[in-house]
């Protein structure tokens, strides 16, 4: 999904484009027909696992200029593992929801590709947040600037866990002070962020 700023048509990344309609059916089968059960793994353990996973994907994501994505799931003892990593495109990545029904996904994750000044990709997109909330799963995002975000679906907030450079950073990355993301966004605040006048960076 791509939005445009009102002035200048700067492309806004919606970094995850869940393109396959069939996938919605599959995720509905996988998640919304089940009661939400809190993960056995601790929030800290999940966050740490995803952070390591995303950090390891950053270099490839930058080099190839593509998003990479996947899911973390846990077994009955709360041990974490990841699905295969799915290869996306410049500003999208399609998940594959065909996990067995006895496997419980606890988080989704995706990179935001390489640095591109046309994209506002240092924060999760509205679409990222909406999808995580709809499908009742936390989502984690890494950015070209090396930021690490969590979309907390239950509280409907995007939280910047750590800032610029805390994960691997694209060598081509140039910060945009006028467009610097704050530490947290509600969905409404995120909508405001992308409707402000174009930042000249």
Please report, as ranges, the residues that interact with Zn ion according to CB under 5 A. Answer: 15-16, 125, 128
Q: How far is the CB of 92 from Zn ion (least distance, A)?
A: 9
What lies within 8 Å, CB to CB, of 106 at 6+ separation is: 39, 41, 46, 72, 73, 74, 80, 137, 138
Q: How far is the CB of 124 from Zn ion (least distance, A)?
A: 5
Q: Given the complex with Zn ion, which of 79 and 182 has the nearer CB atom? A: 182
Q: How far is the CB of 24 from Zn ion (least distance, A)?
A: 18
What tokens does 146 get?
């090396």
Q: Given the complex with Zn ion, which of 1 and 200 has the nearer CB atom? A: 1
Q: What is the largest CA-CA distance in the chain?
A: 51
∠ CA 39-44-49, nearest 5°, is 85
What tokens does 35 get?
């009661």
The Cβ of residue 144 has, within 10 Å, a number of other Cβ atoms equal to 28
Q: How far is the CB of 148 from Zn ion (least distance, A)?
A: 13
Q: Given the complex with Zn ion, which of 16 and 27 has the nearer CB atom? A: 16
Q: How far is the CB of 123 from Zn ion (least distance, A)?
A: 9
Taking the C-alpha atoms of residue 151 and residue 46, their distance in angstroms, rounded to an integer, is 13
What tokens does 72 get?
């973390």
Q: Given the complex with Zn ion, which of 90 and 103 has the nearer CB atom? A: 90
Which residue of the chain is nearest Zn ion when measured via CB? 15
Q: Given the complex with Zn ion, which of 101 and 158 has the nearer CB atom? A: 158
């Amino acid at each position: 999904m791509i939005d445009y700023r009102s002035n200048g048509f700067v492309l806004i990344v919606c970094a995850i484009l869940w393109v396959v309609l069939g996938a919605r059916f599959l995720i509905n089968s996988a998640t919304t027909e089940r009661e939400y059960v809190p993960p056995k793994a601790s929030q800290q353990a999940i966050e740490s696992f995803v952070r390591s996973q995303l950090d390891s994907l950053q270099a490839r994501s930058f080099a190839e200029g593509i998003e990479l994505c996947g899911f973390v799931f846990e077994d009955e003892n709360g041990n974490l593992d990841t699905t295969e990593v799915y290869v996306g495109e410049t500003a999208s990545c399609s998940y594959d929801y065909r996990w067995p029904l006895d496997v419980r996904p606890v988080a989704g994750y995706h990179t935001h590709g390489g640095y591109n000044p046309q994209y506002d990709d240092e924060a999760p997109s509205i679409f990222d947040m909406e999808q995580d909330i709809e499908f009742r799963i936390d989502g984690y995002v890494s950015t070209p600037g090396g930021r690490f975000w969590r979309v907390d679906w239950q509280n409907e907030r995007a939280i910047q866990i750590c800032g610029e450079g805390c994960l691997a950073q694209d060598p081509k990355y140039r910060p945009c002070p006028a467009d610097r993301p704050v530490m947290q966004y509600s969905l409404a605040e995120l909508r405001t962020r992308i409707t402000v006048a174009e930042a000249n960076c």
